Amino acid sequence: MHRSLHGRGPLFDTDPPGLAARLVGARPYQLRSSPYEHQDDLPFVVFAGGRGLGKSALLAEIRTAYQGHTPVALIDGEEAQFAGPPANRPRAAWSPVAHALTTVAEQLAEPVKGAGRISFPRLASGLLAVAAGGWSDRNVARIRQEAERILLLNDSRSFLDGLAGRWVSKVIAKLVASLSNAGPVVEPIIEATLEAFSEGVSPTHRRLRRAATWFRDYPNAGGNPKLGLILLSGHFRAGGDSRTHAERFLVRALLADLDDAYAGVMQRSHRLGRPVVLIDNVQAPAGRGLMEAVLRDRADGLGDQVVFFSALRGYALPALRHAVRRTLAEVARTTGWEPGSSPSSRALLVSLPPLTPDDTLHIVGALCRGLDVPPQLPHATHRLTGGSPLGITLLGESARQNLPGGAESLGALLTGDVALHADHDGRPAYRELLDRLVPDGRLDELTVLAAAHDRDSALALAEDRLPDDFGAAGVLGLQERLTEEGWPTADGQFVGDPFLRALLLLRLHHLDADHAQWKAVHRAVIDHYGGRDTTDAARYRLHHELALGNADLAVEHLRDTFPGTEVGAWLRSLVFIASAPYYHAHDPEGHDDSDGHDHRAAVALGRTDPAQRPPEGVDAALHLRVRRLLHAVWQLTDPLVLPDPEVAERLRFELEQLSNLRPGGTALLWRASRDWPSDALAGRPLRIPGDDGDGDGSQG
């Protein structure tokens, strides 16, 4: 086996068989059969997840696993070819779904081991009728080109076979000849098509004749295939629901042609498993129309034996409202899927999990084979990316290219150039990632709004820092778009996903050489919360002050609130404030430091204490301890640096000492002193004792 994906075993496993083997009836990568889980009704499988979770890579790997073994086709609903008709082709005679069907059929037609090409005469008849609706200009060159592509779907011989080419040329000549007179062209084209399909006595022509009569069952055709094709063409040109009706019949034609290819004992004996259709970005019009047609027909009892695997960006789509939902792990041995009465219940929506720390370790190790990789880099990579396959892979590639040059942190790997193709120059890794992760056309706005904590602060930032025409509608639109695309929400953050937020804030810092926009954005948020006397407002202000390099206000707040604040709440404030971004090394006054040294470790380890003068009238020991603790948490939880073991040990000591000062909260502080250092070094978020029920509940 040559599987290149990690963490996707429930799909690709062969012993016991995973989901793919059980649905396709063939083991991935092998010319060996596998028992079917679903003999008759098949689920339309939809892999769901946000950007970067590897959905496209998953579908590509399924194609690799079965290509050459069973018919397989892969389309991406967001490809440019499905965005609009080719030049000079009227939109009335083209749609994303019809074009997708042509593309799918071309791929499914390819011969596989032990079996020849599949022909699609029913689909070709319908597509010719649709195309003829755009041939009224009698552009012979374009007509020949469009007709040739469709007619080549008809023959079970190779596209390069001379006999197939001669037959296609002969039929095209008939079609062009039928256009010699003025007037409508659809009916003459359909007549010429049916006539061409009815000629000859070979097995191929018998299949063509049988297929030509299939459209007699089109609604209101009265058993007349010519009328059925005329009605199909008219409905397609009418657009709206009429076009949807016609497209549904075209999808049905594709599936009927596939059923015909597998009909009979001899046919099945030469074919392994079931044909596979893969649809990436099924939420796009091309994929959505195809999926909805299949779901409706299956719900109406018109079954087929095609395995559909698709990928959905996000987790919700109206056409999937009643889909059976599972995680990838839950379908490892059985789907537990049973359809209901609604079309959407015919779908099985499988959410993809992020990769594990072990997966990350293996991916980084494979990409950086032979290099001296810092031992904490894989776990730090997992902490930063949250298990995003895209993030892990691209950071691993950046490590391969930049570790030899001296890059020592994830921040350096993100800002370092990475060349993903041999014929392209390198670009900073964070820019490559944002190009793939951010909704199209709104990168500049989202970069600013990444500093916001809720809708109100986002609106304030938009008013202060974004163009006037963006406004509240732009903020709400971006918020909705993030949700639709599957990005998680998080209390206290407008951009809920930590990895995406880190990349956006890194971009904000690098927008200009003097970081003027960075400073202005953080100052705008500070001003927004300046007049609010709440716990959250104070945390937000101090978080942004710290991002600007001003730690004194945070130290003062944490020092003064320590004696009287509930310990759990105080620890939460500490962690939130210390989650402030630190994308450049700063000197103690918060200015950019050209030597690239991170001063947080020095502060945390007490090396700067002698130069400090705590304010008069305060507990100097507590002041310095809180200062060291803040900088320790700031350094250890920074997703762009490798946690320092020496700082982790100092964190343990400082929390132990603080526990002596709060007798009522000793248990929680002591628990934090044990959990936090190990959490930080393992790349886990710092857990607040008591939040998960592991503390004794004492708060002090």
DSSP string, 182-209: SS--HHHHHHHHHHHHH---SHHHHHHH
pLDDT tens digit sequence for 336-390: 999 999 999 999 999 999 999 999 999 999 999 999 999 999 999 999 999 999 9
pLDDT digits (tens, 9 = 90+) for 284-321: 999 999 999 999 999 999 999 999 999 999 999 999 99
Contact between 143 and 175 under an 8 Å Cβ cutoff? The reply is yes
Amino acid at 437: L
Rg of the chain over all Cα atoms, to the nearest angstrom:
31
State the chain's mean pLDDT as an integer: 91
Task: Measure CA 303 to chain center.
Answer: 30
pLDDT of 565 > 60? The answer is yes
Q: Return the number of other C-beta atoms located less than 10 Å from residue 366's C-beta.
A: 13
**Residue 696 pLDDT exceeds 50:** no
Q: For 11, left (φ over 0), alpha (ψ -120 to 50), or beta?
A: alpha
CA-to-CA distance for 175 and 567, rounded, in angstroms? 83
Q: Is the pLDDT of residue 204 over 70?
A: no
Query: Does the pLDDT at position 208 exceed 90?
Result: no
347-351 sheet: strands from edge to edge = 72-76, 276-280, 307-313, 44-49, 347-351, 324-327
Confidence label for 506 from pLDDT (cuts 50, 70 and 90): very high
Is residue 2 very low, low, confident or very high in pLDDT (cuts 50, 70, 90)?
A: very low
Share of the chain above pLDDT 90, in %: 77
Task: Give the model's confidence band at 156: pLDDT under 50 very low, under 70 low, under 90 confident, else very high.
Answer: low
Distance CA 380, CA 369 (A): 18
- Taking the C-alpha atoms of residue 467 and residue 444, their distance in angstroms, rounded to an integer, is 11
Amino acid at 130: V
Residue type present at position 391: G
State whether the Cα torsion 176-179-185-189 is positive or negative: negative
Q: Which residues pair with 351 in a beta bridge?
A: 48, 327
What average pLDDT does range 615-626 have in this prediction? 95
Separation CA 308–CA 306 (nearest Å): 6
Q: Is 347 exposed, middle or buried (0-12, 13-18, 19+ CB in 10 A)?
A: buried
| pLDDT of residue 695 exceeding 60 | no
Strand 44-49 vs strand 307-313: parallel, antiparallel, or unpaired? parallel
Contact call for residues 274 and 25 (beta carbons, < 8 A): yes
Residue 546 CB burial class (10 angstroms; 0-12, 13-18, ≥19): buried
